[in-house]
Amino acid sequence: MQTPDDTRLENWHDFEVDSRREIVALLRAIGEKNQLIRMLVHGEADVCVTSILDVDPDSNTVYFDCSIDPEQNRRILQSKRLQYETTLDKIRILFSTEGQMQSTTHNGGPALVAEIPPTLIRLQRREFYRMATPVSNPVRAIIPLPPELGGGSTIVPLADISCGGIAILDNKLVLGSTMGLTYRDCKIDLPEIGMVSTGLQVRNALEMTLLNNKTNRRLGCEFIDISRGNLAMVQRYITKLERERNARVAGLS
């Protein structure tokens, strides 16, 4: 099975799940927790945000929510292979479906249906483990803007962080959301750790409508050309967040 970012995984077979019972359980858990799923129709250039509506092992099918874009639904139905990426309990899940997806209904609404994937990948390595950053004291990134975006720089808060990259909230919609767009010489101010310098490449984008009807954009960015020393600082900060979270859970803070 080929999946997103295969080339960056050294031994992804070590993380492959081929137990049908476990695959069904994982897909059901993703659906029950209403986890958003990135469906790659034609790679990163054509991404649909969807969710699992139901899993039926008797008919070997999994039901997905439709795209809000009718034209994208048409492309999905014509595609012979689709790739998916999501998380479950902070663990990254990758899988793909072969053969054309079918249009159907589920609980009276439009839906898409495909065969249950024979295998999936469950990544638990630390570099793919994302930690949510504090909301009360946001971590901020300073991103230089290219001339076509007005020049200067903008400061954006982080939503989460891993050793592979960060998710940022482009509240003012000043950053481009084009997949593969790279920002050089970015700075990330990690509290009690220091300032990290790195390039950031946009890997995914999600438009969100807030309760006040304002639009926000979440950008998933991969570290580009980050030095070993800067990556060590990121790791120290993730460890710090883990310790603080574990202390809260234990009632020690």
| The domain boundary residue, chosen from 95, 124, 153 | 124
Local confidence band at 2 (pLDDT 50, 70, 90 cut-offs): very low
Mean pLDDT of 183-188: 96
- Same domain, yes or no, for 106 and 165? no
- Domain assignment present for residue 3? The answer is no
- Domain assignment present for residue 115? The answer is yes
What is the per-residue pLDDT for 136? 82
- Lowest mean per-residue pLDDT among 16-25, 27-36, 125-134: 125-134
- Same domain, yes or no, for 73 and 152? no
* Phi then psi dihedrals of residue 33, to 5 deg: -90, 5
Residue the block writes with tokens 């129709």: 41
Strand runs (DSSP E) across the chain, as ranges?
Answer: 16-17, 37-40, 47-50, 52-56, 61-65, 81-88, 91-98, 102-106, 109-115, 120-123, 131-132, 140-144, 153-161, 165-169, 182-190, 194-209, 215-224
- Domain assignment present for residue 167? The answer is yes
- Domain assignment present for residue 2? The answer is no
- Domain assignment present for residue 163? The answer is yes
**Would you give the DSSP letter of residue 111?**
E
Joined tokens for residue 103: 């249009």
- Domain assignment present for residue 78? The answer is yes
- Same domain, yes or no, for 94 and 144? no
Strand runs (DSSP E) across 179-233, as ranges?
Answer: 182-190, 194-209, 215-224
When divided into structural domains, the chain yields a total of: 2
Q: What is the per-residue pLDDT across 66-108, written as a single tens digit (0 to 9) for each?
A: 998 999 999 999 998 899 999 887 788 899 998 889 999 999 9
- Same domain, yes or no, for 93 and 150? no
- Same domain, yes or no, for 148 and 118? no
- Same domain, yes or no, for 92 and 140? no
- Give the domain CATH number at 210: 2.40.10.220
What is the per-residue pLDDT for 25? 93
- Same domain, yes or no, for 176 and 113? no
- Same domain, yes or no, for 115 and 188? no
Mean pLDDT of 110-127: 83
Q: Model's pTM, two decimal places?
A: 0.52
- Domain assignment present for residue 154? The answer is yes
- Same domain, yes or no, for 198 and 228? yes
Local confidence band at 144 (pLDDT 50, 70, 90 cut-offs): very high
- Other CB atoms within a 10 A radius of the CB of residue 112 amount to 24
| The domain boundary residue, chosen from 124, 148, 181 | 124
* Cβ atoms 201, 180 nearer than 8 A: yes
| The domain boundary residue, chosen from 63, 95, 124 | 124
- Same domain, yes or no, for 76 and 166? no
- Same domain, yes or no, for 79 and 183? no
Q: What is the per-residue pLDDT across 37-74, written as a single tens digit (0 to 9) for each?
A: 999 987 767 889 999 999 999 999 999 999 989 999 99
* Phi then psi dihedrals of residue 20, to 5 deg: -60, -40
- Same domain, yes or no, for 135 and 79? no
How far apart (Å, rounded) are the C-alpha atoms in residues 41 and 45?
Answer: 8
Q: What is the per-residue pLDDT across 146-181, written as a single tens digit (0 to 9) for each?
A: 888 888 999 999 999 988 899 999 988 889 877 888
Q: Which domain holds residue 167?
A: 131-245
- Those residues whose C-beta lies under 8 Å from the C-beta of residue 231, and which sit 6 or more positions away, are 163, 223
Q: Which tops the pLDDT comparison, 207 or 142? A: 142
